[in-house]
Structure 1
């Protein structure tokens, strides 16, 4: 996984502070929407992602650029202030860890678990709905699904929920069979 996406202690602290303030001021859903918007913008634009995480630009320049890009999103004041604090403290490079930590806090607060699903081919909407229903029944909680495609799996799925991994990929089954045949 790329370093800019990993969890950090600083990211956790900023996320907890923003989450607590959003909860206290009753703007949690709006700030969560803003966080989702920021994540989507950063994931969809490599240039913006590189700009925000770059060490070449000063924090005030990065903040001005980020706010210019997000202007049409009409971010909540708390979200804008979070970006300002990150910039003032030279921590805009921690934006991804802050976003990820905030998302985990929000999911825990709303009782939604996040499932990371890796498949050999892109899943259809019907398959995603079926998987979401199955996960909800199995876990007793609703699940938000993050998908990823990895052709190396050959077929099947890998589903990670928290520290649990369900591996029903064809690659793993073939590897197990290969190992069993070597031992025989």
Structure 2
């Protein structure tokens, strides 16, 4: 997770605004899309940091790229641009998602399995592990990993729960070798 104080402050301010206007989910979804744009287009960040391009031109570019975005999101992008903080956009989105998840009692989780999980299995994993970490539910991303042989590996933040067959075999091997 991000350790940027600046990103946290901007994220908290936008979260409070979104909360007051009942738009947390909409803004979170738009921010995740913006994050994806910045991750896939490194040239965009370089262009926005180019000193030869005026702030007005950069704002026009952002307004054109994200013209369907929520006004609060657009305003925040303009503020980041004006304050020369566009390099914080990815950290900012991560911070916003973390704040929104905490407020909703939700945690993001990655579940590695040998096959796609059913809706019933996903719900069971969510309810079981959400209680263990003090959350109401988990937002699960299922990742197929045939190297697990069987079982699942669950990652919530920096916690890993490994009940996969390959994990058990590795632990057994370490115990037998004695290291």
TM-score, L = length of structure 1: 0.73
Displacement of 1:115: 1.2
SS of the counterpart of 2:18? helix
Residue number in structure 1 paired with 2:107 = 113
Residue 27 of structure 1 and its aligned partner are, at CA, apart by: 3.0
Distance 1:116 1:166 in 2: 10
Aligned to 2:125: 134
Aligned counterpart in structure 2 of residue 51 of structure 1, from 26, 33, 43: 43
The equivalent of 1:103 in structure 2 is 97
TM-score (norm 2): 0.75
Does residue 23 of structure 1 match 2:19?
yes
Larger radius of gyration: 2
Q: Deviations over 1:109-144 (max 9, x none)?
A: 22222213344x5x5252x65123322244242211
Q: Does the residue aligned with 1:30 lie in a helix, a strand or coil?
A: helix
Q: Does 1:84 align with 2:78?
A: yes
May I ask how many residue pairs the two structures share in their alignment?
171
Q: What is the RMSD of the two structures over their aligned residues, measured on CA atoms? A: 3.1
- Closer, same or farther in 2 for the Cα pair 1:143/1:8, shift >3 Å? same
State the shift of 1:105 in Å.
1.2
5+ residue gaps, structure 2: none
Match of 2:84, SS state, is: coil
Assess if the C-alpha contact under 8 Å between 2:116 and 2:142 holds in 1: no
